[in-house]
Amino acid sequence: MFTLRRWWDRYRLPTVLTGLSLGVALFLRQSEGAILYETYQLLARPFQPNVERRAVLENAQILELQQRLTELESQNQQLRSLLGYVGETKKTGITAPVVGRSADHWWQHVLLGRGSQDGIRKGSIVMAPGGVVGRVTSVTPNTSRVLLLSDPSSRAGVTVSRSRFMGYIRGQSSNQAVMEFFDKVPDVRQGDVITTSSLSQLFPAGLPIGRVKSVNLSKSPAPEAIIELTAPVSFLEWAIVYPHRQAQAGKALN
Amino acid sequence: MKNEPLTAVLQERPANRIIANCLVAVASVVLCVLISPTRLPGMELAGIGPNWLLIWVVAWSVKRTVVQGALAGITLGLIQDGMTAHAPTHVLSLMLVGILTARLRKERYLKEDFISIALIVFAMAVVAETVTAIQYSFQGDRSLVEIWTYHQLIALSSAVLSSLWAPIVYYPLNRWWQYMYTLEQQS
């Protein structure tokens, strides 16, 4: 008892400080660093690109193409409604600046400067000029962390837009991803457009992802293709977040 | 440091010293944590930046015991886990870095200066990334070829950048801890 008492008198302060720091660290781990990211967002605010001005500066041709696309989409919607097909209505996105990247080197994350206060939820889809870039994996009131499609742990069901052959893609930590096909002899060529498939639970169907760069049909166990992501994931400056509920995929099937 | 009022305040009571020490440690860790998600121009190589938390662990452990080094590694590892993902954990790699740095017989092999700190950080960055790569290999959701080719890229760029930027963290912290040490001797 006495030795314990003497030990305590001698090491009281280091023990308390160690316990305190470990406790704080554990809290930060369990809360997924929410406080840290909020502080980061607060400090990084003056350096963020001005999203509103950027949107205005987009050149006229893109606007024209977008308008044509909107026209075609609405025509498509009308034709579908004539056929009796009930699709989901188009949702408006939340524009968010990219304020940071992953805090270590193995993960392909980006940090967005908008969070749950602006309506971003876990599982929301993140698009950039060019196509899908990833989905939100955690949110704090003013920031959200996005797992990019280029992360090796990120998988998505995709389809070849032209021939409707399906497979899934796996990130390669760069601007490329590997697509593995479900069929032994898929009809796929260099330059084919790849979009998310209707079997994907995490992403809504029909969003553009990339183009086929090369095909390896002799690959075992399944044929593979190298996909070049159209969105510039390595130098994103802003992104648009669309809400997406994963349960919807199951509902649509029923 | 020739700040007379500060010295007087710190010399007066040991409690002040402890509080100041804690504040400096916490502030420097927070700074390192907050700078981790940034990729400032000139501070990145192929999208990879310096590993600031590793630099802090090395700066802390250089003149401390193995246990202190390991505890610092565990604490910062937990924080980094919170900021990225829980598996594979950063606790193991940073703890190993703390232990190895504290165990190094610096007085025998290396002289106390920037170059030796940069060398230690270089080696430790390679060790830390290797530990992470081994964890990924056991996890088994990526192919081994993918993991180890990526490991080469990360280990090298992170080691080069971290060792170049290490003095920025090490120099002020070391000055502070030396100053604290002399105050302790005086009182």
Give A127-156 pLDDT, tens digit per residue. 888 788 888 988 888 889 898 888 888 888
Distance from CA of A170 to the nearest CA of B (A): 10
The number of beta carbons lying within 10 Å of the beta carbon of residue A220 is 6
Residues facing residue A166 across a β-bridge: A159
Residue B79 C-alpha from the chain's centroid: 13
**Mean pLDDT for all residues in chain B:** 83
Q: Where in chain A is the domain with CATH 2.40.10.340?
A: 47-149+234-253
* Architecture of the domain delimited by A155-231: Beta Barrel (2.40)
Describe chain A by its helix, strand, coil percentages, rounded to 5: 35, 30, 35
Q: Which CATH number fits the domain that encloses residue B15?
A: 1.10.1760
The number of beta carbons lying within 10 Å of the beta carbon of residue A138 is 19
List, in order, residues 6 or more apart from B123 with CB less than 8 Å away: B159
Residue B141 dihedral angles phi and psi, to the nearest 5°: -100, 0
Closest alpha carbon to A107 in A193, A32, A214, A31? A32
Q: Is A6 helix (H, G, I), strand (E, B) or coil?
A: helix
Give, in degrees to the nearest 5, the angle at Cα B16 between B10 and B18: 110
User: B122, B163 in Cβ contact below 8 A?
Assistant: yes
Distance from CA of A73 to the nearest CA of B (A): 37
Amino acid sitting at position A242:
Y
Q: How far apart are CA A116 and CA A126, in angstroms?
A: 14
Which pLDDT score, from 0 to 100, does residue A237 have? 81
- Cβ-defined contact of A152 to B142 (cutoff 8 Å): yes
Residues facing residue A148 across a β-bridge: A134
Residue B72: which domain range? 4-186
**Mean pLDDT for all residues in chain A:** 81
Distance from CA of A207 to the nearest CA of B (A): 26
How far from A213 is each of A159, B131, B179, CA to CA, in Å?
15, 34, 59
pTM: 0.79
The number of distinct structural domains making up chain B is 1
Judged against a pLDDT cut of 80, whether residue B134 lies above it is answered with yes
Q: Report the residue from A18, A29, A102 with minimal CB separation from B79.
A: A29
Give A249's pLDDT tier (boundaries 50, 70, 90): very low
Which pLDDT score, from 0 to 100, does residue A250 have? 43
As given in the structure block, the two tokens for residue A32 are 């997924």
User: A230, A194 in Cβ contact below 8 A?
Assistant: no
As given in the structure block, the two tokens for residue A26 are 């554990």
Q: How far apart are CA B21 and CA B29, in angstroms?
A: 12
> Stretch B160-185: mean pLDDT, rounded?
86
Best CATH choice for the domain A47-149+234-253 from the list 2.40.10.340, 3.30.565.10, 3.40.50.80, 3.30.230.70: 2.40.10.340
A15 inside 8 A of chain B by CB: no
**Looking at the predicted complex, does its ipTM rise above 0.85?**
no
Q: Could you tell me which residue, A244 or B170, shows the higher pLDDT? A: B170
- The residue of chain A nearest to residue B140, with distances taken between CA atoms, is A153
> Stretch B98-127: mean pLDDT, rounded?
79
Closest alpha carbon to B64 in B140, B184, B177? B177
Judged against a pLDDT cut of 70, whether residue B111 lies above it is answered with no
